[in-house]
Every structure is written in structure tokens, then in C-alpha cells.
A and B are shown apart, each in its own frame.
Chain A
Amino acid sequence: MERVVILSQVQDIFKDILDDEEVILTDKTQAPDVKGWDSLTHIQLVVGIERHFKIRFTSREIQSWNNVGEMVDTIQNRIQNS
């Protein structure tokens, strides 16, 4: 799956879980840039992404992302390796 497609699907998941149609994600987006993205909704977002892409992150991966780009990299790696 192409990176752009993954990013767009992740954006849809964010819109759905944060209940905000105006969320726009780029590779450089970080939690403080998105209204409602805090440590608790982060867990919900992770679960949403895992279910959508049918993958499972490790705890270390979830805690290591500094921005959306790094998260998308992990998703892409997982999809390619599965």
C-alpha cells in the first residue's frame, strides 16, 4: 500500500475517533497540533489503526513515535511484512 493512501486512511480514522471532520494530518503533525489528541485518545487511535489495518504494534513502537510520519512508517513496514 502506498504511503499517501495510508496517511489518508489514518486521517479518516482520526476524524472518526476524535469526532472532528477538520483534522488534517501531514508527516510532521504532532499531538499538540491536533485538538483532542491526548494520551488517552492516543490509545483509542492506536486501537482504531490496528483494527483497520489488521496489524499489531509493540508497546515500544507506540511510545517511540514523535510525529504522524513515524507512525505511518511503522504501519507501512507492518503491512509489507505481513
Chain B
Amino acid sequence: MLFTSNEFLIFFTAFFLLYWFVCDKNVKHQNILVLLGSYLFYAWWDWRFLSILITTSIVNFILGIYIEKTTVPKSRKLLLWIGLLQGVGCLLLFKYFNFFVESFSNFFSFFHFNIHIQTINIIIPLGLSYYTFKSISYLLDIEKGKIKATAEWMVFCSYIAFFPALLAGPIDKARTLIPQLEQKRVFDYNLATDGLRQILWGVFKKVVIADNCASITNHIFDNYQHFSGSTLLIGAFLYTIQMYADFSGYSDMAIGFSRLIGFNITRNFDFPFFSQNIAEFWRKWHISLTSWLTEYVFTPLSIAFRDLGKLGLIFAIIINFTICGIWHGANWTYVLFGLMHGCYFIPLILTGKMNKRSKIAGNKMLPSFSEAARMLATFVLVMFTFIVFRAENITQAFNYYQRLFSISLISIPAVPKGYLTFRTLLLFIGSMLLIEWLNREKEHGLQLGVIKGRIFRWSVYAFIFFLIGMLMETSETPFIYFKF
């Protein structure tokens, strides 16, 4: 049941009507519907995983209450560790077990020791990485005294299973979402209509940009041996745009659907391609994951390594981004992706520019030359890491780089035709970036404050609708971030 599918449209319409017209009497009724709707939504994908989701919710709900009740610090720590072991244990078992086993036996076979450990045939439960991070942050915050444990099991289970953000985030912290679940939601016309606009923008990015980029990038990455360096450069460019359009498009839809039912969930993207350095990029890309890692990984590590000065910060950031990389999946390509980003931070740490913030272009229409150059440089740095991210394995990534940086880089690219021609696709990508540039101070790309007059605004919405209708492929393409 993808957000862009007919099933979801029927599901959400029914949910919306029940939510605002039948269950609007009190918060309990609203939460029962949110929880049942979330479990139905999840079971629709695969009912077998529902038991893991429910068990995780119950275990963490009980642990939260006992961590708060216990006054003995050692017992609090012990209960926290049980929760962490449960969460990380599930991730290790379902997501990383085979990866570690295979890496371990490969390592020993390199030294001619044959170690045979049986791998397990297991499927990763959908959304596991997302809801595990939610439950871990909940327990850590209670243990640190930052939040109180919720006494309502329905509130907690709804927080973990909240369907708009269940499969691919945003990863809301308990302190953002739980207070909203504890209060009765009242229909807010402005919030709902803005949610609709955000959904429209998300669908545009997914259907018009991401899926059409995919039809070209899949071909280039799967047959990279047959393409010139210049074509591979375009492949990397299109894949970077595809990743952004796919994941930020999904996030816009998730936030938009939440707004329609009265929730304000965490923002996940803040126009990252307009960043002037890599630190700014990560403050604007997958914000909910970055802020989670900053709070629970980078900050404690930088405190622990504080006597080492800048070297300590470099250690902390490298570990932080390695975890960020491997969070995406059990493959050395993701580890390398994280390491590359960690290394990109080193010059910023050494020059003390990591936390420097500057508003791009101020109130002017165009950026200055140096701002544009820094934006382009940041984009190129990110683009090179997405080659590793997309590759099946490290060898393929290196071969791709090798071919890309060959003499054939200086040749006319021969971009394979996807559903759209490359030129048409470039036109759409340019339009997306232009609209987002004009709205870069807004919460999403379609808050069209710059366009005065209702008729003009509606013409833009109608045109986007038309494009989506024209380009909506019959086969549904899943979102990239679902597999993480």
C-alpha cells in the first residue's frame, strides 16, 4: 500500500472520514483509530511482521514505566540496557546477522582458514530501523530525565506505529509526537490544506522526477561497463537527484498526511542541495536521522573524547557517520558511504567551520558567485558518495569510478532513453530546483508565497496534477528508503 497507490487513497479517505466525523469525540477514540489504522496499514504490507512491531511496543512501554519508577541508578541503567539490547538485538538479528557472518568467514578465508557458520534465511521487517530508533530514543530520554514515561499504552503504541511515518520515517522523537498524541486533535483547515499541498509536491517529486530518473539510472548502473565516463557522470548526477526526489518526496507525503489528521511531525529535508558545505548538507538532509545520531551518538562521543581536542571530534564524527552509513543496510558500500561523509567533515573541524551557519543569498534572488561555487562543490562531493551508495558492492563502485575518470569522460554522453528523454527530464529537474530555490525559506516547495493571486497558484497546482496524471506509470515503484 504505497502512498501513491489506489489502495492507500481508499484507505486514507476512509480513515480521514472516520477520524474527523466518527471518532472526533475524544482523544481516546482518535488514538484507537490511529493505532488500528496503523496496524492495518502495516499488516497490509506483511502481517507476519506485525507481531514484532507489537512486541517491541509492549516491551518498551513496560520498560519505560519501570525506568522512571526506579530510583536506584544501577537498576535504571540495567533496565535501559535491556531495552537497548532488545532494539539493537532485533536490528542485528534481522538486518546484520548474515552480513557479519559472511564478513567474518571471508576475513578468515583470506588467511586460508575455512570457517563455516550457517547464515539464516530471514526477511527484514519493514520499518524496523525506523521504529527501533524511536523506541531507543524514548528509553534514553526517560533514563536521562528529559521526558516522563507515558502511562497510556495506546499513546505509546501509536507513537511507535504511527502509520504516515512507520515505513520510512521521519524518525520522530517521543518528546515531539507523544505530547500531540496525548491531546485531542482539532481539525485545522490551514494545516490540512497545507498538508494537501505538501502531498502534491511530494507526489510530483516521486512520480515525475524520481521514477523517471530511475528508468535511466537503473540502466546506466546495471550496464556501466558499456557506457562512457561522461555518461556515467550523468548517471551519478541523475541518481543523486533521484535519491533526493524519492526520499524527500516520500517525507513530504508522510508529513502532509500527518497534517491532514492534525499532527505536526518532524521535518526531514530542508532543501539540502542549496548547502554550502557538507555539514550544512547534513543539517538539511534526512534531518530526523541526523539529529537522532547527533544527540545519541555524536554528542556523547565528543564529550567522551573531549581531552583529545579536534582529534576527538574527528573520531566522534567518523564513528557517527559510519553508524549512519551502516544504518542504511548490511553492505560494505554503506559503511564506505558513511566513512566518506565522515572524512568530508575533517577540513571543517580543523578550520572550525563545522557549525558556522550562513543564510544563502540573503533576500536576493540569486546567490553570489562564491555561494554558487560552494553549492556546486558540495553537490559534487555528495554525488560521488552516491555512486558507492547505489553500487551492489565495493568492487562495482570502484569499477564505476575507474570508468568515470577515464579518458572517455571527455566525450559526448550517450544517455539511454528512459520513459522521458533526458532533455525533458532535465527540464523537470530544473523546474523542481527553481521552485524549491524560490521557496527555500519555506517548510516545503509548494508553499507558493511568491506567487500572488489565487488563480495563478491554482494554475500551478493544476499543471502539477496534469503532469502527475500524464506520468503516473501503471507499475508502482517502491520508495528507495523502504528497504532501510
Contacts and interface: CB of A to CB of B under 8 A. Distances in A.
B306 A60 contact: no
A40 B349 CA distance: 9
**Chain B binding surface, main DSSP class:** helix
Q: Which of B303, B349, B355: most chain A Cβ within 10 A?
A: B303
A16 to B, nearest CB: 15
Q: Which of B294, B300, B306: most chain A Cβ within 10 A?
A: B306
A56 to B, nearest CB: 10
Contacts of B145: 64
Nearest to B356: A38
Interface in B124-158: 144-145
B277 interface: no
B277 to A, nearest CB: 14
A40 B307 CA distance: 13
B331 interface: no
A82 interface: no
Contact of A60 (B144, B302, B307, B309): B144
Interface string B283-303: 000000000001000011011
A43 B313 contact: yes
A43 B354 CA distance: 14
B435 to A, nearest CB: 32
B434 interface: no
A18 B294 CA distance: 22
Contact of B306 (A38, A46, A64): A46
A63 B144 contact: yes
Q: Which of B309, B312, B355: most chain A Cβ within 10 A?
A: B355
A46 B303 CA distance: 9
Given A40-B313, A43-B313, A63 B303 contact: yes
Interface string A17-53: 0000000000000000000001111010011000000
B17 interface: no
B304 interface: yes
Contacts of A80: none
B303 A43 contact: yes
A64 B355 contact: no
Interface residues on B, range: 10 to 19
Contact of A40 (B144, B300, B354): B354
A47 B306 contact: yes
Given A38-B355, A40-B355, A64 B303 contact: no
Contact of B303 (A38, A41, A62): A62
B144 A39 contact: no
A59 interface: yes
B76 to A, nearest CB: 11
A59 B300 contact: yes
Contact of B304 (A38, A39, A47, A59): A59
A52 to B, nearest CB: 14
Contacts of B303: 43, 46, 59, 62-63
Contacts of B354: 40
Contacts of B302: 39-40, 43
B355 to A, nearest CB: 4
Contact of B299 (A39, A41, A64): A39
Interface in B289-346: 294, 299-300, 302-304, 306-307, 309, 312-313
Contacts of A47: 306-307, 309
A46 B299 CA distance: 13
A59 B294 CA distance: 15
B355 A63 contact: no
Contacts of B304: 59
A63 B141 CA distance: 11
Contacts of A38: 355
Contacts of B307: 47
Interface in B378-413: none
Given A40-B313, A43-B313, A47-B307, A64 B300 contact: no
A20 B172 CA distance: 37
Nearest to B354: A40
21 contacts: A38-B355, A39-B294, A39-B302, A40-B313, A40-B349, A40-B352, A40-B355, A41-B355, A43-B303, A43-B306, A43-B312, A43-B313, A47-B306, A47-B307, A47-B309, A59-B300, A59-B303, A60-B144, A63-B299, A63-B303, A64-B144
Given A43-B313, A63-B303, 7 more contacts: A40-B302, A40-B313, A46-B306, A47-B307, A47-B309, A60-B144, A64-B145
Q: Shortest 5 CB-CB distances between A and B: which pairs?
A: A38-B355, A59-B303, A43-B306, A40-B355, A47-B306
Interface of B: 144-145, 294, 299-300, 302-304, 306-307, 309, 312-313, 349, 352, 354-355
